[in-house]
Structure 1
Amino acid sequence: MNVNQKEIKKYMYLISFAGVVLAIILNLSQVFHFIQTIWKLIVPFLVGFCIAFVLSIITKQLENTLLKNSKNK
């Protein structure tokens, strides 16, 4: 049976992937707890980015309005 290096590498990746999936399935509660912890850390940044985006739109409109008035004088 002659198996080349490419096939061996492919099978090793497949076995590794199956092992990782099996480990995740066996420790599902810990995985969900980890995802929940990461989510709790990311949410404040997402809210901050959303607020900054909305305020940026408002301030651009306000600046354009004020600059038009100052250029006319």
Structure 2
Amino acid sequence: MKNKFKTLIRKIKRMGFKIKEEPEINDPVCGMELADDFISSEYRGIKYYFCSENCKTEFESNPNKFIS
């Protein structure tokens, strides 16, 4: 049984499976890459994430300036 398992593991490794990485999330105002503790706001059904209340406030005052 151990040999079958080892053979299976070798075959899977040869197939080149890769671990899916989390997408990078950046603050649309300052461009900072965000960690797990971020602030969010929704505009036209899309959720945007911010590093601080200041960036969120700036975004909410003129969203079109920061989205393309």
Query: TM-score normalised to the size of structure 1?
Result: 0.30
Higher Rg: 1
| Structure having greater relative contact order (Cα 8 Å, sep ≥ 6) | 2
TM-score normalised by structure 2 residue count: 0.32
Structure ranking higher in strand proportion: 2
